[in-house]
Structure 1
Amino acid sequence: MNLSGSKVLVAGASGFLGGHFAKKLKDLGADVVGTTFSRAAPYPVPGVKYVTADLTRAEDCAAVCEGCDYIFMCAANTAGAAVMKATPLAHVTPNVLMNTLMLEAAHRAKVKRYLFISSGAAYPATGEVPAKEEDMFAAEPEDVYYAVAWMKRYAEILCRTYAEKIKDPMPVTVVRPSNVYGPQDKFDPAKSHVTAALIRRVAERENPMVIWGTGNDIRDLIYIDDFIDGTMAAFSNDSPFYAVNIAFGEGISVRELLIKIIEVDCFNDAKYSFDVSKPSTTPIRLLDHSKAKADLRFQAKTSLASGIKMALEWYRANLLGTWR
């Protein structure tokens, strides 16, 4: 897909994924507009036009979608395991509003294609068998993700409705990522997910470290550059509605991940323990990436050690000492 000269909106351009998409699209020659809300873009991309918008308001959605050729919907209200456990409905209302109003505004603006970032957490439990795309609605989501998962599922149903079930349909790509990590991730202790949190704690030389949960939870981790490349390949697929997992294709436990980060950063005297009384999420979540390999010829290229090294280097150069 040639995006050079196209007007592309990145909703949520101040966030981790949105910031990287804004840079990628600008590098591809697109005329990029990025929305921000509660904070300015912390790492602004030269040449991107940033506008403040409240995407829970229909008029703001209409204004930012007007005249756009393509939309990348990266705006979302997110947080880690502790917030989801304490306030499981915290992410439901704002995200339902944003997803519903942005789809409506994009359709009215006659955009050529719309990207929605879904979540691997919306899948039902599949145990050690990686979840395939067709598993999404096969059973109830896991209790720990129940509210957030159904919010994502409802958004996917809306995406398919706009793509296939109405007059003047709007093509939509839905990407279901595994756990994305890398530079510019959410490293704030109050908001970070497990990979960013462990990278921060090792870089800061926190010693000893007490890690929430058993350490046995297993996740698939994909480096941000690989995720962006996989998503761009999916966005180029011309199916009216296209949903696909973008994942690395291998699982690693939290304990193994911590040991790998310690090893990569040569933190030889690190001490750590696991607090099983603290909340974790689901014991294992893996995504099948065979559809992306077959349809898109996509395979993540960045090894875990290389990705961790680049994330640590970026953190040290930009954020070291911020939360001491």
Structure 2
Amino acid sequence: MEKRKPVSDRKVFVAGHRGMVGSAIVRRLEILGYEHIVTRTRSELDLLDQRAVFDFMQSEKPDEIYLAAAKVGGILANNTYPAEFIYENIVVEANTIHAAHLSGVQRLLFLGSSCIYPRDAQQPMQEEALITGVLEPTNEPYAIAKIAGIKLCESYNRQYGRDYRSVMPTNLYGPGDNFHPENSHVVPALLRRFHEAVQEKAPEVLIWGSGTPMREFMHVDDMAAASVHVMDLEEDVHRQYTRPMLSHINVGTGQDCTIRELAETIARVTGYGGRLVFDATKPDGTPRKLLDVSRLKSLGWQAGIGLEEGLNYTYAWFLKHKEDLKVC
């Protein structure tokens, strides 16, 4: 069994530390007393460059890795750039995981996505639903890339005895999110849209889709806490709740709401009092996405930040940083 160093002595590489999830993991590690957190910007280390990643791993020799780097986006971005979404994510995963193995890194945590599950998977979605049906077409390339990441981890565990783990988060939001008007996910897109509607005194806000699909939303600080919790599980405990070919763990709140309910909550948070108009000609995506988080609860962790509370935190962060985000 692996003998781990004390927290203060562990060198931990957080790949993707400038992203919403990666930055939250860094914050969490700092709170817990980690003193040797290694980060690199894309200009300092391009994870698409296999040789650069290998040289970095050989030079730094991290004890553990959080693989949070990914190309992400909403329905529009996934539909518009499917080639980039599948290529960049697969290459980043393959380069990082293989270089970690070659450099002797025993423990790694890969962050996936709940979109790995079939479009019509039984709700709530259990880990066992993986590769049992057709994926949602609007983000299939991204989902396949994330499935590849899970299988990379499982394969290195089986063949080389590594301890590479995977967590599958539900829809995330929070500080550091992407508030681009076209390429962002639903929560930051709506927060920005409602904020602008308040500023412009717009009589109505147009929202993509029918408003009926159900989604689960989790604050990124909860996701970071869950990630560190899973990474810190003793190896025998982790293996007790997973299998060699079913090693991933769902991370979510266990609660969902309709997009209409989400929009109504964001309207309250931003102080918008106009009409909400839903454009049913736009794609809805998967009808429902709720994760079964019973495995994670059995491992001793559950979410603690409620949706409206988390949205208030996120909107406060947005207001503080909107000039940097080039939002009027």
Q: Which TM-score applies when normalising by structure 2? A: 0.88
Aligned to 2:306: 303
Q: Percent identity?
A: 29
C-alpha contact 2:120 2:133 (8 A) present in aligned 1? no
Cα displacement (A) at 1:209: 1.6
1 or 2 for the larger relative contact order (CA 8 Å, sep ≥6)? 2
* Structure with the higher helix share, 1 or 2: 2
Q: Of 226, 230, 234, which aligns to 2:226?
A: 230
The counterpart of 1:35, out of the listed 6, 17, 40, is 40
86, 108, 111: which one pairs with 1:114? 108
Structure 1 unaligned residues grouped into runs of 5+ = 39-51
Task: Report matched runs for 1:84-163 at 5 Å.
Answer: 84-126=78-120, 129-163=123-157
Counterpart pick for 1:69 among 44, 63, 70: 63
Q: Does 1:264 align with 2:308?
A: no
User: Where do 4+ consecutive residues of structure 1 move more than 3 Å?
Assistant: 239-242
SS of match in other structure, 2:39:
strand
Shift in CA distance, 128/153, structure 1 to aligned 2, threshold 3 Å: closer
What SS does structure 2 have at the residue aligned with 1:111? coil
Give 2:281's match in structure 1, choosing from 272, 277, 280. Answer: 277
Q: Is the 8 A contact 1:82 1:279 kept in 2?
A: no
CA contact (8 A) 1:9 1:65 kept: no
**Per-residue deviation, 1:230:** 1.2
Q: Which residue of 2 aligns with 1:288?
A: 292
Residue 183 of structure 1 aligns with which residue? Answer: 175
Q: Which residue of 2 aligns with 1:48?
A: none
Task: Tell me the amino acid that sits aligned with residue 253 of structure 2.
Answer: F
Measure, in 1, the Cα distance between the counterparts of 2:24 and 2:210.
32
Secondary structure in structure 1 of the residue aligned to 2:82: coil
Partners of 1:278 and 1:209 lie apart in 2 by 15
Which residue does the alignment assign to 1:44? none
Name structure 2 gaps, 5 residues minimum.
none
Task: Report if aligned partners of 1:118, 1:176 keep a CA contact under 8 Å in 2.
Answer: yes
User: Cα offset for 1:264?
Assistant: 2.9
Paired positions, count: 307
The one-letter code sitting in structure 2 at the alignment partner of 1:11 is A
3-state secondary structure, aligned to 2:216: strand
3-state DSSP of counterpart to 1:274: strand
> What does residue range 156-235 of structure 1 map to in structure 2 within 5 Å?
156-164=150-158, 166-167=159-160, 169-204=161-196, 205=198, 207=202, 208-235=204-231
Of 5, 8, 13, the residue aligned with 1:9 is: 13
Q: CA RMSD in A?
A: 1.8
CA distance in 2, matches of 1:195, 1:102: 29
Query: Structure 1 residue 128: deviation in Å?
Result: 6.1
Q: Deviations over 1:124-172 (max 9, x none)?
A: 13456111011112223222222221111122111100112x13x2211
State the AA in 1 paired with 2:297: K
